[in-house]
Amino acid sequence: MLRLLKIDFKKFVNYRTFWVLMTLYSVLVVSIPTTVMEFLKWLKVKGANFNEFDPLRVPVLYFPDIWQNITYVYAFLKIVLAIVVIISVSNEFSYKTVRQNIIDGMSRIEFVGSKLSTILMLSLYSTLLVFLTGLITGLIYTPNYDFTDIFTGIEFVFAYFLDVLLYLLFAFLLTVLIKRSGLTIALLVIYLPLEYILTANLPNSIDFIGAYFPMHAMNNLIEVPFPKYIFQEIQDYVSMKSVLVALFYIVLFPLAIYKKLKQSDL
């Protein structure tokens, strides 16, 4: 596995697009909380009048709320990582290097494995970055907190990992099916609303299956947290069912990718 990761990494080492996208992604993740907090401070300093309401008292980025809030928001940024995956895989098809890799002595399963190990690394990197950003932001800004508050809701970080992993695997599968990067990115973007439109129009008798569609499975991991700030009820935990459905797809997608590649003439 390590060898396969090494092979795939060598393809990236001197690939400018990869580093540009990864830098962009990392800077975005790290800078968002600071920007938000500084913006709130600025609002307060400017004396914006919210009916005697202090914007800094909204605990958006305070322990323990922070975990669900930032994982929910950061899940939108995973499109950048998906583009990295799509480019990495579609390049292999457009340059025909997948063919040469096999000729040189890779098996198809090893080829899939090398891309999967990169996807796993990207998901872990993203999760670690989000965890550290959340931790540092919380430690800096949370006014008073108990030690136990810090790790309350940490399961959202784990859910975030599954969320990103599932999405990147989905991007991998689409690329193997479509092979062209531009088309794949476009389809990845429009697939999500399409799936929601489709499930919204299911007949009542079977509309429970909507939750089992892949993008639903992914989005159900971390529910929208913000309505609670206007006193509405939210799901402030990660449901076991959503984790199981997500895991199902996390196993299914690589199998489908392998089956497709095995049947293909490269």
- Tell me which residues touch other proteins (CB under 8 A): 3, 6-7, 10-11, 13-16, 91, 95-97, 99-107, 110, 263-266
Three-state SS for 107? coil
CB distance 143 to 62 below 8 Å: yes
CB distance 168 to 86 below 8 Å: no
Amino acid at 261: L
CB distance 144 to 157 below 8 Å: no
Q: How would you class 200 by CB atoms within 10 Å of its CB: exposed for 0-12, middle for 13-18, buried for 19 or more?
A: exposed
CB distance 238 to 68 below 8 Å: no
**Assign residue 233 a region: left if phi > 0, alpha if psi is -120 to 50, beta otherwise?**
beta
Helix axes 181-200, 155-178, angle to 10 degrees: 120
In terms of CB distance, is 117 or 127 closer to other proteins?
117
In terms of CB distance, is 57 or 99 closer to other proteins?
99
Q: How would you class 118 by CB atoms within 10 Å of its CB: exposed for 0-12, middle for 13-18, buried for 19 or more?
A: buried
The CA dihedral of 162, 166, 172, 174, to the nearest 10 degrees, is -170
Minimum CB separation of residue 103 from other proteins in Å reads: 5
Minimum CB separation of residue 266 from other proteins in Å reads: 4
Minimum CB separation of residue 258 from other proteins in Å reads: 14
Minimum CB separation of residue 141 from other proteins in Å reads: 42
Minimum CB separation of residue 102 from other proteins in Å reads: 5
Minimum CB separation of residue 118 from other proteins in Å reads: 14
